Each structure stands twice: as structure tokens, then as C-alpha cells.
A and B are shown apart, each in its own frame.
Chain A
């Protein structure tokens, strides 16, 4: 999905100076019930003739071979990227999930966990799948992650990047002649309208691809024994987060033509209800065992985005599942401490105190508590909180500074 977005972004730049806003849309844009549901049992065993075959690589002479070559180079960069999460246990877990879902495509799809905030995963035509840590913190169980990975596998099998590329090429080929004709007639404004129109139609193709991938993802995760209800559930969370954002990104003309996540949620809800399965696993405990010890840094990355309203909702959602989790309560406090709206200091104090009383709070809870208490003028209580921090983390890297703060005259 990132790949397609990057392509369209480059395309938009190539066509006209009409770059969409730098803020990326964080929702996968798919919805609609018109595409036929695939037959999961024929998947990978000779479904549609245009499907990618397991183990196959396109010929070097083809346009597809060219795209694979380019993506192979991107993959090399990815392998040494600063954002790559090299944690072997986590990578084994994610790739294991890929294999459980992708069957014969298991070794064709190579997953890379990228330390990047925001809800995102992507599939490149050569089988390079990116899973962002922003997705991992948002999934509540294995079934939800399986739904997203299944969706990406759908892109791979149906060769959507390739089709999107061909579609874009054909449409821009038409556009260049049109632009020349219009320029000759000196009507620059019309050029813009047509350019937007063509980009819009490329996006429409992308939406059809997304709808199809949604259906494949649902079929794959259900076949693997996961609860299909996880698919609409993850969209419900996206909608909740999106609607909470008071600074929701301005959508340009072609983004505005997209179906809303809400529509998509409703479609997927209907489809999920109609999917027959024998097992309905969530894999929540397995998922949490992997993610919980790792998520604090990822949540800090989210905090750096300063989308505090979204993060408030995200944390509230996670707390529903784990009311006693000290790390989540601590992060709730951090949101309020850094947002600084009226009343946030009191909310932050409540959250830090709740965290301190919860399970396994990070030692930094006490430091943050001390910082807020200092701001509210409660110096003695602040110093006590700082002392708690140093007691719990004697080797703290900021020990000398904390000690200086404790000794400081008010």
C-alpha cells in the first residue's frame, strides 16, 4: 500500500505541480461489495489465470520484471534501513503468521518489521511485505494482524502493483497528449481539472484492488481458523481514532472521492458475518506475549507524532483489554503531560498514580509524576516521586540531573 501510494505520489508530481499534502492518509482505502468473493479453497492452486504463481518470477524482458528489479533494490535498502526492527523473535513470529496464511506462497513473501508509527502495512510486487510497528501496537490480537497480513497477501497473489502500474501508465500516456492540446489552446485551468480526473481514476483502480485484497484477507484468515469478526473490528478502531482527531488531515480532491473507513467497516462487517468457519480464534494471549514487552518504544514513537487525540483513543482501546497494564496507564499520563490542554495536568497526575498502582509500570512513571508535580508547585511530593524513580532505577542515565533537581531550591 505504501508502494502504491509512493507511485501515485511520484505520478502526481510528474503530471503537474499538484502534490497531495505531505501527511499520509493512514487508512487503507477499500470498500464496496461489488467485487466477487474469491473461493478460498482454490487459492494458490490455479485460481485466476492472472494470479501470481507460487515460486514464480517474471521474465526479465517484461514490464513486471522491471518492477521486480526496482523492488529488489528497495529490499536491499530495507535490509540495512535504520527503521528495520532486527529482533529475531518478533520477525520469526510475523513470518510464521505469513506462512500460516499464505500456504504455498510462504517463501515468496518476505516480511520486514519497520519501526514506524501509524497504522500501515504494504506489499511490493516482489513479495516484500512491510509491517509497521504502528500496526502492531494497534492490533488487539493475532486475528487482527492476520486480517491485515492476509490483505497484503491478496495484493501479492493478484499482482495488484503490476496492474496499478499498467493502469497508471496507460492513463498518463493519454494525459500527456491531452495536456499538449490544451496548452496549445491556452486553457491552463482545464489541464488541472483533467489531471485531477485522471489521477482520480487511477485511485479508483486502486480502490478496486483494495476491495479485492480485503476479501482475500478475510477468506485467508478465516481459513486459518481466526475469527472473521476481527476484520471489521480493526476498522472500527480505525474509525474511532480517525473521528477523534480534531486536526484530521485536509483531504485533497481525489482523496475526497474515497469511500470512508466507516463504509468499509460496514461492508466488511456484512462479509464477516456471512463467512462460515469452524474455529473462531483470536490468538490474543499469544499476540500479547510477543508485543507487550516491546511496545513501550513503539508507543513513544506514536507520542512523537503529537496526534494526542488519536492516541488517547488508541490507549483507551488497549486499556479495555488490559485494564491493569502499567505501561498503558503510564502512556496515558504521557499524552496528557505533553498535550498540555487545560485540565491535562490533573488528568496526567491521575494516570500516573493509576499506573504506579497497576501491574509493572515503567520506572519512568515516577519521574513523569515528579515532573508534573513540580509544575503544579508540589515540590515535596515531586521530590518523593523522583526518589522513587531513582530507587526503582538506580542506574538511570539521568540520575545526576534528577539528584540536582531534588536538591534545587524552590
Chain B
């Protein structure tokens, strides 16, 4: 089963041009007088290094840095839209409420999977949806709306890998052999981001980013990566 899914994703990656591919259902963010409040869900982030042999080694220090830089870049980009970033925190002393939060986050993840499969993969398109991005988490999101006094929730999944020196060498050696089917992949960015309207549950913006460039370890690079991930984000 895992190999089949892996195959699907590899095929998806191969077919997708290296680009960001956003869809939005609203013209602009709608909030209060002082501008909309956007709840930032915990960023699912990992930076890694591709060893010569292709093993992907997670890098904790890079990831910590990137998380700080990304969060700052997000706040900046949202400020340009008069929006305020609200940090998420899990309910600490209430196991019942924490479990409900967990279920809601898992529901969001599963809706994200459904969008990736049924909206982005042409062979799994649902004709009832047409070309529209038409998914909603429904009334349960009211919980977050009230707890954080927020209008939207922004969720980000991001993986960012870099070639090691050895991988660069291996790729250089392999490059002339590409006609034989020997191709080695290097660093890549894969990102998925969604914006949910916490008053209705509707997914109002969604993006998938796949490219073999980008840099999250510097402030400028993080700004560029976040701007690319937020392409088509409602103004």
C-alpha cells in the first residue's frame, strides 16, 4: 500500500511543473475594522540535507532558524494586508478540549489530503466540484473562532532539503548519464498551505508548492519562500 501511494506521489511530482499552484475562493480577506485576525497553526516544518547516497538527514538547528524566519516573514506579509497573526496554543489544562482541538487539526489535514488528491490530481477529479476549490471543515471550526477571536486559520506544511557537498558531486557525475535513465535529485522545497475561514469552515485559499530551489536559512530567502508559498493569497 505504501509503495502504491509513494508511486502516486512520485508521479504527481514528476507531472507537476516545479511551481506554486494556488487556488482562492474569495476576492479579499474579510475581518473587522482593525483588519482580520489570522490564527497561525503550528508550522509543520523540516529542513534536511540530502547525503551523497540520497538519504535525507533532518537538520534541527536549520529547522529552528527557519521556523523563526518564516513566522516573521508571515507576519510581515500579512501586515501588508492589514491582517494580524495570532499564535496558536493547545489547551494545556483541559484534556477534553485538547482532544477536540486534535480532532479538528486532523480533520483539517484530511481535508488537505482530499484537496491534494481530488483537486490537484486530474485523474481523481470530482466532477461535482467542477474546477472549484470547494471544501469546508464546517461548523466545528467555531471552536477556534471563539477561543482565539480569530477570523481565519492559516496552516502550513513545509519540507526543504539541501544538497550536501557529496550529493552535488554525485549529481555532477551522473548528469552526463541522464540519457541512460540515471538521474539524481538534489534539494527541493515542498509546501502545502491553506487558509480556512473560521466563521464558516470554508477553505478559502490553498496552495501547493514544489520546486528545486529556495532557501529558508536566511531572512531574505525565507521572505522569498514564504511569498512564493503565499502566492494568490487573498489581499
User: Residues on A close to B: CB < 8 A?
Assistant: 11, 13-15, 19, 22, 60-61, 63, 65-70, 73, 80, 168-169, 171-177, 179-180, 183-184, 186
Contact = CB atoms under 8 A, between A and B. Distances in A.
A127 B190 CA distance: 29
B132 interface: no
Contacts of B59: 66
B136 to A, nearest CB: 23
Contact of B54 (A172, A184, A186): A172
B172 to A, nearest CB: 10
B1 interface: yes
A15 B64 CA distance: 30
A222 to B, nearest CB: 37
B57 interface: yes
B60 A14 contact: no
A66 B48 contact: yes
Given A177-B173, A180-B182, A184-B180, A171 B53 contact: yes
Given A66-B58, A73-B44, 8 more contacts: A68-B60, A69-B58, A69-B60, A80-B102, A80-B106, A168-B55, A169-B57, A183-B182
Interface of B: 1-3, 6, 44, 46, 48, 51-55, 57-61, 63-64, 99, 102, 106, 166, 170, 173-174, 177, 180-182, 184
Contacts of B2: 22
Contact of A176 (B53, B177, B180): B53
Contacts of A183: 177, 180-182
Main SS class of interface, A:
helix
Nearest to A19: B3
B51 A169 contact: yes
Contacts of B61: 60-61, 65
Given A69-B46, A80-B102, A176-B184, A11 B55 contact: yes
Given A180-B177, A180-B182, A13 B6 contact: yes
Nearest to B61: A60
A172 B55 CA distance: 8
Contacts of A19: 3
Contacts of A67: 58
29 contacts: A14-B54, A15-B54, A22-B1, A22-B2, A60-B60, A60-B61, A60-B64, A63-B57, A65-B61, A66-B58, A66-B59, A69-B58, A69-B60, A73-B44, A80-B102, A169-B51, A169-B53, A169-B55, A169-B57, A171-B53, A172-B54, A173-B52, A175-B53, A176-B170, A183-B180, A183-B182, A184-B177, A184-B180, A184-B182
Contact of A174 (B44, B53, B58, B184): B53
Nearest to A174: B53
Contacts of B166: 173
A319 B192 CA distance: 53
